[in-house]
Structure 1
Amino acid sequence: MGKIGCSVDGNLNESKFSEPLPWIGIYIAVASLACAIVMAADLIHGFRYRKLWFPSKYYSLNATSLTLITVAIKFAVDLNTPMPRRIDQLAKLSSSTLICTLMGNSMPSLGTMENEEIWMNIIALGILVITVIANICIQLGTGVIYLYWKEHALIMFLMLVLLVILSFSALTVPTTKKYLEFKYKKKYEMAVEECSNGCDRAVEKKLREDLMKYWMMAHTCSPQFVIGRSVTCTAAGALCLLSALTLAEAMLRSYLMRGSFKFCNGESDYKWSTILVLILQTIAIGVGTIAPAIRWFTAVNFRCPTIGKKSGRKEFKVEKYWTQFLVEMKEYPFTIRIQNRQCRKLAHGAKDQIVDLCIGMQIGIVLASKVIRFISVYFMSRILLFCRCCKKLMNCNPNRSIDSASDSQPSSKPDLSRFVLHLEGENELVELMMKNNCDATEHWIQHGKKKQPKHLIELLEKSSSALHGVREFDSDLVLSLANEEPPHCWALPVVTLTAIAVAVPNTSSCLRKQLMRSVHEGLMYVKLIEDNLHAESDMANIMKAAYTVWLGVDLYHKWLDVDLNKMSFQAESTKEALEGLADAAKYRYVEFKKTYVNQCLLKESPSKWPIKVLAANSMYRISQTILQNYERSNIQSSERLFEALTIMISDILAACLTNLQRIISLKCFSSSVEVREESVRHAVFLLGKTEKILKLVNQKALPSFDPDGMACINEWRAFQKTKNQLPFSPSSTENETASSDLRDLHLNIE
């Protein structure tokens, strides 16, 4: 009988049921700690990227966070576990307060969601909040919660108000997204027109100035930033701060005024785990209150100097976009199919009444939020003005006139106010948003410069003036292994040439390591270019072959299963190494062909061949081309061959990287509104990393292609063949001597 929960005499063994509760308390504490960590991550992210409206990058309203909240607030919904001690009662209150904190932090995340996702998450949150409020009311009635009832009542009220604010703020998201997307397209066209008028500037300088405009537009129309600077988000920050202060008041009063409280005797079934939960939830509330409080304080600080200059009517005006979605919903015809005409009429009328009620509630929420902001400004303005007066008195000194004279000088920063995207009623924020973000582009460019690909830049400096290596790595005189050749991509020739360079005997290990590091850095940018410009083409399989082969070359110095280091050490001559690679490639091609021919894979387009077949075909053609020209040259030296291969790799990379300018520009417009700010920031950061590369490649003799032609290596090869150019030679002055010595060695296929 004891095994099924009963004692020997048949009575329930109640003590057995409560044994797991301390471990459940640890489970609650871990969930609370997880909430604290993600909110702290958002806080650090906001400070690091100087976004004091604190976007929700790590913590957002979704199924995972709602599940986490449900676990973390178990104390608040536990109806029958006795909680007699001071710590137990405070843990009940902290669980309720944590919900307010989490709702205040999750508000900006509404901007990143699709419409259906918003409604599903808001409904789920509403069910959770109503359940918590109902359970707390039951516990107040049964006596499980017998202290801090006033604090609980206030927290429940704040919880409900925050839920309403979140719900009705979500109604503005579709409208503001649509409106700001329309404005972004118009401003983008204006920016492109202005950018086209400055063609005489250097490419990197032109991109820098253009990106300042794109960044200002992308940042100010970011859906999270739009919600973060809204009046409802400001009010939510104030309410979140008030909930944290309520918990702090209860804790201080409990420990400083011990005589005014009478606690029950006994111990909670959660035992020692209650203390752990209270500590971690208090930390989570403290950390999570910082971001909403700063949003509130920033809005108050900005409004303090202008509160007296604005009329009351303008201050409490409800802008059109707050109710636009509901108005459109009211005008939209009723779509539910009802046969009876009278029932359709009643349903249509009920719909209009409900929407009118929602419009009234929306107006009321916006007005209440503006009242909260007005009251906050009224009381905080005295303190802030006093602080400013003290600061002015402290700064009064004889040299102040010199400082003021220097401050009065016109700023060299460009006026980007026309590129600030704002909603109705945000005209006063334009100047503030421009000043706070004018330096952001320069900041990220400088940050990018600290992470420049130094090894890649050193390699590109060796490239020839006309980038002949793009043409010369593959000769038309080499007999094909197949009837039809696959097209070239940028990455596969680079990887194949690097593998050949590693296999060349009697070369310095330092030079080989340097080349490998340079190619590793270069392929990251090649992949970025090919993924963006050839994403929908038939080159995907060829690019996959390139990066699969590079993984083996980079990590293990192996091309497929051929050990390149072993070949380099065992080969008696350079010719033997090249012949060995060509034979190995041909052998593997034949073996792979036998394997795949029964699967009819080789009957497909050559670009869809298996990646090992593509890699073998590339190695055979390139190694045969190099072998033919090596035998034809007068100077048969491993060092010179390695140098020629290095220059050829540099040429191909330089030709590919001419597309970086286009990639940077594409990132400013091709992304969706939810991620556009991050995309433009990455474009600015990329410009900082590649500014020197852009200078180097734009000094070359580049063909006059259209953008699609510049992105295709086959177009480059066709153009260079028609021009019948001379073999490539290093472009820099210090390489001219080497050019004359290597003339016979460079790959002349004419």
Structure 2
Amino acid sequence: MSIHISQTAIVGKCCLICVSYLRKSLFRGFKEEQSASNTDATSEFERYITYVVQIEEEAELSENISRSALNSINRLLQESENYVPSNLIKLLQKSEGFSGVIEFVDDEVPTLLNEEETRYCWSLETVTLTSFAIAIPNIDDGNLKALLASMKEGLEFSRHIEESLNTNGDLVKARKAAKRIWPEIELYRRWLKTNLQKNACKGCTSKEIIQHLADEAEKVVKQVKSCKKGSLDDSMYKYIAANSMYRTSQTILRYCDAQENWPTDEELFQRISTMIADILCACFTNLPRVITLKCHHKAMEKRIESIWSAAQLLGRSKQILKILEARQLPNLDLHSRVYLHMWHSFPKSQIPSGCASPVIKTNTASPCSNESTIVNIT
């Protein structure tokens, strides 16, 4: 047997095992799969060995290679399950539904960009909301550190989704903007060189701080618009990030002003944290589709790496999917579920605000259907 065929056999087996886990763990209402025993592994091998497609008609699949691949993927899944994103899990447990996808921005707040340039991006909107949470005064530093740690873990998962599914040009720009501003927020608690906690230290109220951030965002957009065309591209990420900051800040101000009493600092912090959790939960409903796509990577030279990545992602997201088990999803089709702006434009009355039965309602096009999936390696 040639090396090329051996590698293909390994890829084929890994893909089949990944999909067998996907079918059991994800397609049936995000139900979790228990770690396979040695007996289960043998059973898996015997069941799926016949589905591996060989390149050469006369080639025989090596049983040792297939068993090795099966053991490798099982071991990788089990090892990945040990790396639980514990901070993220705690944050997601604050969410009881998906209300945050509606509430994070008020459509009546005008955009500072052209309408066609305005796209809601999972990572950018959660990063922007995190900036506000950091800026709110009188919040325990331990809670801020916990939120930052949660976001760091959450962005690892959301970027898998955005890089696989959100390939629209404007969304790519928004994702890159989030990637550019996040390190400064995480490490130095600054947004575009603006110290997020400076005004809190001066004794400013949360309302004054949020208004200040709105003003700073508006200044950034005006500065970028006044730049010559040659330097505009270099500042595009600031342009996009500032628009997100402006609209979100104005939305928070409108919400708080509409209340009988302005929320306490702690209440505002918890509201923002819950919105972040809601948005991330909505984003993570796309994890099954992303994992499946990674198992179907077309480029042979990248397929092994992609399948290994799928196995790791599946193992690490096990607890996340468990949280989503009890969620009732809005009646969004598979394509629409990928985009935050589609969630946001959905009628609020039809966005579930709490947990429902463990069975998630989906249409036949959803990756959560009960249909079995067979992967063919060619």
Same fold (TM over 0.5): yes
Alignment-derived partner of residue 138 in structure 2: 506
What are the Cα deviations for residues 78-124 of structure 1, in whole angstroms up to 9, with x where unaligned? xxxxxxxxxxxxxxxxxxxxxxxxxxxxx96xx5xxxxxxxxxxxxx
| Partners of 2:26 and 2:288 within 8 A in 1 | no
Q: What residue identity is the alignment partner of 1:463?
A: S
Q: What is the distance in 1 between the residues matched to 2:306 and 2:188?
A: 34
Secondary structure, counterpart of 1:451 in structure 2? coil
Match of 1:630 among 239, 250, 256: 256
- 1:475 partnered with 2:106: yes
Q: What residue identity is the alignment partner of 1:718?
A: S
Distance change >3 Å, CA 499–CA 195, structure 1 → 2: closer
Q: What is the distance in 2 between the residues matched to 1:545 and 1:600?
A: 16
Deviation at 1:720, TM superposition (A): 3.6
| Partners of 1:420 and 1:434 within 8 A in 2 | no
Alignment-derived partner of residue 268 in structure 2: 641
Q: What is the distance in 2 between the residues matched to 1:494 and 1:534?
A: 16
Q: What is the distance in 1 between the residues matched to 2:24 and 2:195?
A: 54
Q: Hey, which of these two has a bigger chunk of helix by percent?
A: 1
Match of 1:522 among 142, 150, 154: 154
Alignment-derived partner of residue 418 in structure 1: 50
| Partners of 1:420 and 1:433 within 8 A in 2 | no
Deviation at 1:440, TM superposition (A): 2.5
Alignment-derived partner of residue 587 in structure 1: 219
Q: What is the distance in 1 between the residues matched to 2:259 and 2:90?
A: 27
Deviation at 1:449, TM superposition (A): 1.2
Q: Out of 630-639 and 416-425, give the one that drifted further.
A: 416-425
Q: What residue identity is the alignment partner of 1:619?
A: M
Q: What residue identity is the alignment partner of 1:530?
A: E
Aligned pairs for 1:6-45 within 5 A: none
- 1:610 partnered with 2:236: yes
Q: What is the distance in 2 between the residues matched to 1:549 and 1:201?
A: 38
Aligned pairs for 1:245-644 within 5 A: 413-414=43-44, 415=46, 416-422=48-54, 423=56, 427=60, 430-465=62-97, 467-482=98-113, 484=115, 486-535=118-167, 537-596=169-228, 610-635=236-261, 636-644=263-271
Distance change >3 Å, CA 615–CA 584, structure 1 → 2: same
What are the Cα deviations for residues 624-656 of structure 1, in whole angstroms up to 9, with x where unaligned? 100111122235200010000000001111111
Distance change >3 Å, CA 410–CA 666, structure 1 → 2: closer
| Partners of 2:119 and 2:170 within 8 A in 1 | no
Higher Cα radius of gyration? 1
Secondary structure, counterpart of 2:119 in structure 1? coil
Q: What is the distance in 1 between the residues matched to 2:22 and 2:242?
A: 46
What are the Cα deviations for residues 289-330 of structure 1, in whole angstroms up to 9, with x where unaligned? xxxxxxxxxxxxxxxxxxxxxxxxxxxxxxxxxxxxxxxxxx
Q: Out of 193-202 and 412-421, give the one that drifted further.
A: 193-202
RMSD of equivalent CA atoms: 3.7
Distance change >3 Å, CA 675–CA 627, structure 1 → 2: same
Secondary structure, counterpart of 2:300 in structure 1? coil
Aligned pairs for 1:170-189 within 5 A: none
Distance change >3 Å, CA 200–CA 686, structure 1 → 2: closer
Alignment-derived partner of residue 708 in structure 1: 335
Deviation at 1:688, TM superposition (A): 0.8
| Partners of 1:655 and 1:697 within 8 A in 2 | no
Deviation at 1:412, TM superposition (A): 6.5
Q: What residue identity is the alignment partner of 2:259?
A: S
| Partners of 1:658 and 1:698 within 8 A in 2 | no
Q: What residue identity is the alignment partner of 2:30?
A: V
Distance change >3 Å, CA 532–CA 724, structure 1 → 2: closer
Distance change >3 Å, CA 195–CA 696, structure 1 → 2: closer
Q: What residue identity is the alignment partner of 1:628?
A: R
Q: What residue identity is the alignment partner of 1:664?
A: I
| Partners of 2:330 and 2:350 within 8 A in 1 | no
| Partners of 2:77 and 2:311 within 8 A in 1 | yes
Uncovered stretches (5+) of structure 2, i.e. residues with no partner: 357-378
Q: What residue identity is the alignment partner of 2:207?
A: K
Secondary structure, counterpart of 1:665 in structure 2? helix
Q: What is the distance in 1 between the residues matched to 2:202 and 2:285?
A: 39
Alignment-derived partner of residue 660 in structure 1: 287
Distance change >3 Å, CA 502–CA 715, structure 1 → 2: same
Q: What is the distance in 2 between the residues matched to 1:197 and 1:652?
A: 26
Alignment-derived partner of residue 311 in structure 1: none
| Partners of 1:491 and 1:546 within 8 A in 2 | yes
Deviation at 1:431, TM superposition (A): 3.3
| Partners of 1:468 and 1:651 within 8 A in 2 | yes
Q: What is the distance in 1 between the residues matched to 2:311 and 2:177?
A: 30
| Partners of 1:571 and 1:577 within 8 A in 2 | no
Deviation at 1:538, TM superposition (A): 3.2
Distance change >3 Å, CA 549–CA 195, structure 1 → 2: closer
Q: What is the distance in 1 between the residues matched to 2:58 and 2:329?
A: 50
Alignment-derived partner of residue 690 in structure 1: 317
| Partners of 2:136 and 2:269 within 8 A in 1 | yes
Q: What residue identity is the alignment partner of 1:543?
A: R
Deviation at 1:442, TM superposition (A): 2.1
Distance change >3 Å, CA 476–CA 436, structure 1 → 2: closer
Distance change >3 Å, CA 670–CA 705, structure 1 → 2: farther
Secondary structure, counterpart of 1:587 in structure 2? helix
TM-score using structure 2 length: 0.80
Q: What is the distance in 2 between the residues matched to 1:451 and 1:706?
A: 31
Distance change >3 Å, CA 412–CA 708, structure 1 → 2: same
| Partners of 2:123 and 2:155 within 8 A in 1 | yes
| Partners of 2:85 and 2:316 within 8 A in 1 | yes
Alignment-derived partner of residue 222 in structure 1: none
Alignment-derived partner of residue 203 in structure 1: 30
Q: What is the distance in 2 between the residues matched to 1:451 and 1:188?
A: 22
- 1:675 partnered with 2:296: no
Deviation at 1:725, TM superposition (A): 5.2
Q: What is the distance in 1 between the residues matched to 2:207 and 2:227?
A: 30
Alignment-derived partner of residue 127 in structure 1: none
Distance change >3 Å, CA 699–CA 430, structure 1 → 2: same
Name the % identity. Answer: 32
